[in-house]
């Protein structure tokens, strides 16, 4: 899926793909640079940062552009109201997420509590997930990357 950022949402502009890997410093105000090719065209676009707990090495921060946040909400809303996971997901994501905008220098500010949970201090690794990206502490990401490399063969075999 390609993401096309504009003020109104989707347009005919060039799609934004979140690919590659970047390591950036985190300044004293917890600001981290977003790669230029990942930045939306409109300065009004906000990313949703979510503390993402699904790693045995500790959480990371997942950054969703507006289209992906909307899709996440649609997916949750299609769950049965009788499913207790629906409320848990809404409560967790609602309480563990925040909207962040890029400043004029192309940085986002990581909220203190979120950065602490993710173990992010002086450096951050931004990992493209094609339609969104993650922000990791370098140590945690090194462990995850090792596991990913072990599992990559099996994962790619699903695409054949």
* CATH of the structural domain 21-157, one choice from 3.30.390.50, 3.40.1550.20, 3.30.56.10, 3.40.50.1100: 3.40.1550.20
Mean pLDDT, the chain, rounded, equals: 88
pTM: 0.84
- For residue range 30-86, what is the model confidence (pLDDT) as tens digits? 999 999 999 988 878 899 999 998 778 889 999 999 999 999 999 999 999 999 999
Helix (H) or strand (E) holding 143: helix 138-157
Please tell me the predicted confidence (pLDDT) of residue 6.
42
CA angle 91-92-95, nearest 5°? 80
pLDDT tens-place string over residues 88-107? 999 999 998 999 999 999 99
């Amino acid at each position: 899926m390609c993401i096309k950022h504009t003020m109104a949402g989707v347009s005919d502009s060039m799609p934004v793909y979140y690919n590659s890997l970047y390591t950036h410093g985190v300044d004293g105000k917890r600001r981290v640079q977003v790669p230029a090719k990942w930045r939306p065209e409109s300065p009004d676009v906000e990313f949703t940062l979510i503390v993402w707990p699904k790693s045995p090495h500790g959480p990371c921060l997942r950054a969703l552009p507006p289209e992906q946040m909307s899709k996440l909400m649609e997916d949750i809303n299609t769950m049965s109201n009788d499913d207790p996971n629906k409320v848990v997901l809404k409560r967790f994501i609602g309480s563990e997420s925040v909207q962040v905008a890029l400043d004029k220098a192309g940085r986002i500010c990581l909220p203190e509590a979120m950065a602490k949970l993710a173990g992010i201090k002086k450096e951050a690794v931004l990992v493209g997930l094609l339609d969104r990206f993650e922000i990791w502490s370098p140590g945690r990401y090194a462990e995850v990357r090792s596991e990913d490399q072990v599992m990559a063969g099996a994962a790619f075999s699903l695409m054949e």
